[in-house]
Amino acid sequence: MKLVFILDPLASLKIYKDTSMAIMREASQHGHQLFVSMQHDLFLRGSQARIRTQPFKFTADGFESCVASEGNPEDFDAIIMRKDPPFDNEYLYSTYLLEIAVNQGAKVFNDPAAIRGWNEKLSVTRFAQFAPEFLVTANNVLIREFLNTHQDIVVKPLDGMGGSSIFRLKLNDPNISVILETITQHGSRTIMAQRYLPEILQGDKRIIVINGEPLPYALARIPLTGETRGNLAAGGTGFAQPLSTRDYEIASTVGKTLKQEGLFLVGLDVIGGHLTEINVTSPTGMVEIAAQTDCNPASMMLDALAQHLAQ
């Protein structure tokens, strides 16, 4: 297959632990042709979607990419969108351009319209039966009422990643006002509040779902001592563990809808028995699961992709 990966700048990627790199390395070992593009390498010339791509190869010292050339997105077997959030206007524009490419015959994973439609925080509201109690608002009075009800909550922006700007609030916190003013930008930015889940101490579980099917292992990300967030980017430690019965119930139920929506590779975040986020942009965790189990998520993803494209 000829595969294009839309990535963050290559120099910013950690080759030894990045999930995109793991997928690409596996694809290289399977003999697939690899190409990389940055977010702004996709553009329109008139009404025609075009993309600039660089051939990419792994080397003994890392990797090398060659001179970029321009082509039609539909000339590749698959375009895999792996640009990290934040989901700002530029990200939004990228989904529009990718959608135009899809309408002209390109095969893009995840589906760009679905990426746009599934906010990673708000999407849990589609499965309220699995979510903890939550509130979505920019109104600080409503957030305080929610805090008064639940005594212990977490507040987070709707466009973050890696645990950035997530705060835990208790009733006796002396910084409630300044935290709420900051995170809501004085009531001008909508955020999500969720009831704090003490099960976070046993790990914020990342469950990878490929074409509707969950992997048999989750990556439980254990927070640092004194830390609320389990994200690896926030210093958490990942431990692979088999899915529990509840994990599988959540992942298989959500997975059916994800597949219908064209969301091929997704990372669910589960704390205790509650679904807290649905990561559709560039979910991670493959490297850690592969290192600790007999499961090879990157290989499974490529096999599922090949099967999907052959249909």
Q: Tell me whether the omega of the peptide bond preceding residue 139 falls within 30 degrees of 0, making it cis.
A: no
Residue 62 covered by a domain: yes
Instruction: State whether 192 and 262 are in the same domain.
Output: no
- Rounded to whole angstroms, the Cα distance separating 283 from 118 reads 14
Q: What is the pLDDT of residue 163?
A: 67
Instruction: State whether 255 and 160 are in the same domain.
Output: no
Question: What are residue 249's phi and psi, to 5 degrees?
Answer: -60, -45
Which positions are catalytic?
A: 121, 156, 206, 221, 229, 269, 277, 279
Q: What is the pLDDT of residue 61?
A: 85
Domain boundary among 181, 196, 211: 196
pTM of the model as a whole: 0.94
Residue 265 covered by a domain: yes
Instruction: State whether 219 and 289 are in the same domain.
Output: yes
Q: What is the pLDDT of residue 160?
A: 75
The count of domains in the chain is 3
Per the structure, the complete domain to which residue 208 belongs is given by 201-305
Residue 299 covered by a domain: yes
Mean pLDDT, consecutive 10-residue stretches, the chain (311 aa), reads 96 90 96 97 97 95 90 98 92 97 98 96 96 98 98 92 84 95 96 96 96 98 76 80 98 98 98 97 96 98 97 90
Residue 126 covered by a domain: no
Q: What is the pLDDT of residue 225?
A: 72
Rounded to 5°, angle at Cα 234 from 231 and 237: 60
